[in-house]
Every structure is written in C-alpha cells, then in structure tokens.
Amino acid sequence: LARGDLKCIGATTYTEYRNFFDKDKALSRRFAKIDVEEPSVEDTFTILKGIQHKYEDYHKISFTDGALQSSIDLSVKYLHDRFLPDKAMDIIDEVGAHFMLRGQEGVTVRSKDIEESVAKSLKLPSTVIGTDDTRKLKMLEKDLSAYIIGQDEAIGALSTAIKRSYAGLNADNRPIGSFLFVGPTGVGKTALAIQLAQTMHVHFERLDMSEYMEPHTISRLVGAPPGYVGYEQGGLLTEMIKKHPHTVLLLDEVEKAHPDIMNILLQVMDGAKLTDNNGVVSDFKNVILIMTSNIGTKEANVMGFNKDTSMKTDKALTAFFSPEFRNRLSATIEFNVLGIKELVTIVDREIDKLNVLLKPKGVTVELSKKAKEYLAEEGYDKRYGARHIARVIDEKVKEGLTDEILFGKLKKGGLVKVNYKSDTLTFEFTVK
C-alpha cells in the first residue's frame, strides 16, 4: 500500500471503522475515506430499476413499477433500523422467494403483494399495511365512539390529533402522537387507549408508572448500567418497542413516576428515540404514546349526575408538569365524569355481553328502565367511576340466574325480564 503496488477498495461501517481502522494511523492514512450516504427515495427507485432484471430472472417473475415503489415507501415507513436501498431490495427478494417456493412462475408482482409480505414480516394485519392510511383513519372517530361511552369530546380531540400527524402536519422526528389523558378514575381513559390500538390494528402495551417511583427503577426501563446484573438484557421499555415498533403505549398514572423518568419521556416525545444502556437506539416514530393522570380531579370533582363536568385542571397540570413536558404533548385531553345516561348505556353493553354468553343455552335477559337505572347507580362509585358496574351485574343479575339455568326454569332456555320494585330486583321467567 505504501509503495502504491496494491490498489484496494474496502467497505465497512462507521462503527467498525472507528473501532479498528481509525485506531491504526499508519493503515488509515493509506486510504482515502469516502462517506457513502443513504440514497434518496428517487435514487433508490432508479437503483431498483437497474437491478430489477436480476431478481426477475432468478425468481422467474416480474415486478411492476408500483411494486418497486411500494417496496421503497413501505421500507422507509416501517423499517427504521435499516437503510436504503438494502431494505427495499430485501423486500422484493422476499416476495420473489415467496412465489418461487410456491412454484408460481411468471407471476406479475404488484403493490398488494408487497404490502402483504411486509405485513407478514411485521406480524400486522395486511389491511393495516399500505402507503395510504385513509382506510383506517376516515372512520376512526366513529369507530371509537361506538365503544367508548360519554367521551365524544375526548375522542374527537384524539382523532383530530392523530389524523393531523398522519397528514404530515407534525414534525417527522416525533411519535405519531403524545397525549395526556386527564380525568377521574373509571371514566374510560384506559379503555380508550385499548380501543384505539384495536381500531388501528396495532400492538398495545401498558406500564403502571406507580411501579417506577424510585430512582433505581429507571434501569428497569432502559437497562442496567455496565457492570451490573442484567446489563446485556436491555430495558423493559426499549426492548418492548424493538419487539413491537407499531404500538399504542399507555403509561398509567404518569404523575407518580420519578422525575428522572419524566426526562426520559421528554427525549421520546421530542426525538422519537430512546437509547438503552447498551447504546442501542429504539425508534418511537410509529408509537402512539398515551399518558394518564388524575391530577386536578379532586378539585374538579362533581357530585351526582347530569352535570357538565368539564374539569378545570389547567392550574393543577401547570403546577405539576414542566413547560417542556406540556409543550411536547400533541394534546391534553380531558375526560368528563359519566352521568346516569352514560352509565345506563354501559349497563346495556354489559347485558348485551351477558346475552352473548347465554345464547348457546337459549336464554335471553331483558332489563326494564328502572332496573337499568338501579344497576347504574349501584355500580357507580365516586372513587372508581363505572368500573364496578360489571361486578354489580355479577352480584345482582347473574347470581339470580345461576340456579335457574342449572336446575330450574331456565334449564331448557327461556326469557328473563328483570324489573326493579320495592328496592330490589325482581325476575320474571318465561319458559320455552
């Protein structure tokens, strides 16, 4: 090399160059370092067109231009830990291998085939993967409202913020959305997060932040420091996102977390990245981050039903959360206290679930208006909201049916009419 007798072109990564090449000054000075940047989407398409025939000849299939473009767009959207053109080339190679193994020679690969392949590799429904997200976003607010009772304003604010992100109107170095759900216990904060994940067809994870109140618990999220037990295992949060990059992440009662954990959340909300103690970066760009809090709900608590309980918690939130934290939120979404109308609707939902369970036995349960209102009031608790409604139905309705289904009038099926008279529930059976 020193005499110029040997001409050599080498390729390596930045990490390997720094660890091995850069330390040997005598060797590194014999080479001219050339940084090869990741090509743009347009350049990648040109590259794929140039090598397209190699994959077509090998797999005995053909690719449309739309399929090539989809492989690029989907790899950019979903494969953040790799680079173009390699990740796009791998996608078309996998699709080609899929058809070759099935003996389907002469097939023309289209965008739909690329989407199905990416969906399979990411373990997502094929209906979710696509360069066009309008299919699942158009009906988002309506779909959520069908499952979550009495929180139309909260659902509207959440849906609007998510649509804004998908429309490209937010900074692209942030998660899809970072939301703070504020409201009393049992009004649907956690239920909305779960339903959002189901509607968007993505993974759901929940962390109870009351378990992370002490300084040492930070290592559970991002991994233990070098030299400590579990150093090589990584952190719970970082490993969670590596395994499921498309996730609705719920952090319950975030105000109980240690302040140092709040600083970690700032990093996630601002840059959509989190580095564990091994130096491995987790990408949060496809994460919907939802944090719940009960701050200010005691001051805004309203006794009874049928009252507009739009809680004025801004002062309490401002006093607790730093300006940096609040400014990084996509939206602070306030939940209403549920009134008797909403609670009766929840009772109806629970009875519908009960009837689904009883359908194989030929049993149907019907509740009068008074019975529904009684169960709604019995199931409501100022401290726990509507969470006890299901338990009250277990105690007041299901227990009254058990013996009749097993040994009595409903053994062969029938209709049960439940009414409320003289401070108690009454059961009227119509036998088949």
Question: Cα–Cα distance between 57 and 264 in angstroms, integer?
Answer: 50
Query: What is the three-class DSSP state of 420?
Result: strand
Rg (CA), the chain: 29
Domain spans in the chain, listed from the N-terminal domain onward: 1-35, 41-122, 134-334, 340-431
Q: How far apart are the first and last CA of the chain?
A: 96
Across the chain, mean pLDDT equals 84
263 pLDDT exceeds 60?
A: yes
Q: How far is C-alpha 249 from the geometric centre of its chain's CA atoms?
A: 5
Question: Cα–Cα distance between 286 and 177 in angstroms, integer?
Answer: 9
pLDDT band at 35 (very low <50, low <70, confident <90, very high): confident
- The predicted model gives 358-369 an average pLDDT of 92
Identify the pLDDT of residue 128. Answer: 60
Identify the pLDDT of residue 207. Answer: 93
pLDDT band at 411 (very low <50, low <70, confident <90, very high): confident
414-421 and 363-367 strand pairing: parallel
Q: How far is CA 221 from CA 92, 121, 245, 262, 284, in A?
A: 36, 26, 16, 12, 14
Q: CATH number of 41-122: 1.25.40.80, 3.30.930.10, 3.90.340.10, 1.10.8.60?
A: 1.10.8.60
pLDDT band at 52 (very low <50, low <70, confident <90, very high): very high
Q: How far is C-alpha 50 from the geometric centre of its chain's CA atoms?
A: 38
Identify the pLDDT of residue 45. Answer: 94
Identify the pLDDT of residue 274. Answer: 87
Q: Give the list of residues 6+ apart from residue 409 with CB closer than 8 angstroms, or none.
A: 429, 431
Identify the pLDDT of residue 129. Answer: 60
Nearest to residue 117, comparing CAs of 138, 132, 97?
Answer: 97
Tell me the CATH class for 134-334.
Answer: alpha beta
Share of the chain above pLDDT 90, in %: 27
Instruction: Give residue for tokens 């609007």.
Output: 160
**Is the Cα dihedral 72, 73, 76, 78 positive or negative?**
negative
Identify the pLDDT of residue 179. Answer: 93
- The predicted model gives 29-34 an average pLDDT of 85
- Tens of pLDDT, residue by residue over 329-354, are 988 888 888 888 888 988 998 999 99
In degrees, to the nearest 5, what angle opens at C-alpha 197 toward C-alphas 194 and 203? 105
Nearest to residue 89, comparing CAs of 114, 107, 112?
Answer: 114
180 pLDDT exceeds 60?
A: yes
Instruction: Give residue for tokens 């085939």.
Output: 113
Identical fold between 41-122 and 340-431:
yes
The CATH architecture annotation of domain 340-431 reads Orthogonal Bundle (1.10)
Identify the pLDDT of residue 31. Answer: 85
Low-confidence winner among 211-220, 254-263, 377-386, 417-426 (lowest mean pLDDT): 377-386
